[in-house]
Structure 1
Amino acid sequence: MATRNVAVFIDAENLFKGYGKLDIPDVSMEDILKQLESAAALAADGGNIAVARAYADWNALGLEDYRRDVERAGVQTVQVFSVSKAEKNAADIVLVVDCLRVAAELEQIDVFVIVSADGDFVPLVRRLHELNKYVVGATLPDHRPNNVLEREVDQYVTLKLAPKPPPAAALKPLFSSGEQAAPAESRPRKSARKAPAEKPAEQPEARAAQAPAKKAAQQEEPAKKAEPAKKAATKKSATKKAEPAKKTAAKKSASQAPPAAGKGKVNWHALAQEIPVVHAEAATSPEDYKAIIKKVLSDSKVRSFSDQLANHGGPLPILAMAIKAAAPKLSPSDARVSSLSRALRFALAGTQYALARESDDVQPVLVRRSTKPEGMLPDLSLDDIQRGVQ
């Protein structure tokens, strides 16, 4: 079998955890490319990397040295400027547009590697699959990838780090817990123990005053001992009566609760697996897409999933997982709707659900209209879709 050409798209902003934290990874870009090339060769008969691009605001303070390392490895650095306050998504959008352009114009590229842990790339992965491309996801070991993204890609690679050892001086902290260390002569020795404080001698007057009180306490003691026994018997009887009702309530609550994926977390993947295929065909137009979504929402399993998701303020990738289970071939792009968010704002009009977003730099979440949450996004009409209204 002939080797397949590989393209690598690096969300550099995601690699160093945002411009605010700026946690530059202590690993060379050349080493990252070698690992990606090896993984693509093993899993997808990938050959050499034909296209490699990294996206970020490279003018950000602290990125000069990292940019030089990236360019020395032969990776093209793509400068991204944000035109709004949502700096977080600026690189994502340029990366997606660039990636789809390469997929359309360079048909010889078969393997696409997306270096990011961000769930915003799930729609991109799905579109690449529709174009019959093999998709590899990758990120650093301390970046937990979005669980939907991890499942959507054909292979997920955790990059191995071989950081340089820190200088010897860095291994000897000068201070402990942020406080200045005390001089050696003033530090307490481990063997030194604090002497117990001496009790002051009891005065005769105090002993005389305590005698009547002690006698009264001795007289009350039998009555006090009888009291707890009486309370314990009453409590035991009440507990026995309440036990059956408590067990029934617990059983009922357990049957209604969604499966858990760890303490306090809903296992959305397990819930999505219970959803049957409601519609097996692709959408051919925006109106068709809307009709299919309404049909999908009429299924009891999908409705139950959506209700629980709305209760938790679940983001779009989780909702997309349920829609894919119920309508495997449904795609906003086939229906000529540009994105999942806009498609659902159009398709959910007239239903009990809507999308809401707290700010421009976070993903929309599914909500119930009846709760009238803050940040609820307005519905889009077919005319809005055709005019590209955002």
Structure 2
Amino acid sequence: MGFNTAVFYDIENLLKGYSFSQQMVANLSLKDILETVRQTGKIGQIALQRAYANWSDPRLAIMRGEINELGIDPIQVFGFSRDQKKNAADIQLAIDAIDLAHVRPSLEVFVIVSGDGGFAALAKKLHEYGKVVVGCAYRTATNKTFQAVCDAFVWINDPDEGEEERPQRAAASAPSGVSSMVEVYDPRNVRLAQRIKPLKTLTPDGIVAKTREILEWYARDPTSQTDLTRSGIYLSVIQEAIKYAVPGFQPIRLGFAKFIEYMQYVCKGTDFCIARPLNSQAVLALRSAVQKGVEILPDVDRREVHTPETYRSILATGSPIFRLPSASDFYAVVSWLAQHPVQQSDIGSAIEAIVAGLDGEISSEAVKLALLSLVSANVFLREPEGVSLSEQRLSLPLENRSAAVILDKVRKAARQKLTGVLGEVREEVLQGLIPEIG
């Protein structure tokens, strides 16, 4: 296949609306999305890429480097903002796609990175022109009609999947004597709390045993049993029950970055499994009752806690957040920054300056991750105070103009966070992520 593919990114959809945070933008990697699409083998060589957003929004400045690096044309849509017309980006994307289908007959594959149902009509029209349409979106944020009319659909990782917790509220019938515990509100869990006692001593084996005790209770409870054999029970319900029964429960303490991974481990060797119905969130189900077409997620083994992967997962979730690039890239960025300290620079300009200063040998994505980690470690002076990062100017104070000092600051901040979760930190593992000079 020649240069026959066009890729269109609906940035509004990828950021899940207009009220996105700076961290949401930081977590979004168009490079990862593009690589996921390429790995499917469903596209040819890319002739053009366009990303639709209100690029004048200062919150998106952090993406400038990645956009340029990937050769993506940023299409300015002023309607993309918190207050202006919602569908402006969608409309412009659709108009451009139809126009290109006419004026660029060599384009045969149109990749639409969005889960918006409005693009179903666009896909049908492109089919009339003999074009292949590939959709790409988060599994739980995809319109079924759009998915159905696409010739292929590519799922991309949703950073929020499995991490969102439903709001907790008090249950009137919660058992007495557990006021200090997490309160439950799901009716099934209210009944469960009257039968299962919270764990008093936390050990890895004890936590797993208590979790399986909870699963067995669901299998005995008439209502829950029916749910298990029909639609399954959402993992958020299971998570609520475990947090009640295991005070301070955190799956990362057992080596699992996400709750869903922990559940895949707990279900190993049991009658239970984690299943994912089409276009829905994962659920707990009985293996013998999983319906045809429902994906059963594989069981997983217990993982070692003190590993680079586990440390990275802990550092990348919660606050402060440290999404570290490779140790060599991190060292290169810090060394350059110590010799060329930024002064009164916005985050986007700082990224571009460092990428250029390192002759493009370090990707803008790696530089972005490094700078955000430095921000989390309070390496920079940020002005003015009380506004978002996108509106601030960064300056490197005189006392931090040493690579050794900067790395030590980040290491101390990371160590403090890791200790709060794991209780102890293995220095050799931490130094593998954040190098030490000298």
TM-score class, shorter-chain normalisation, is: 0.3 to 0.5
Calculate the TM-score normalised by the size of structure 1: 0.38
Calculate the TM-score normalised by the size of structure 2: 0.34
Q: Which of the two has higher C-alpha Rg?
A: 1
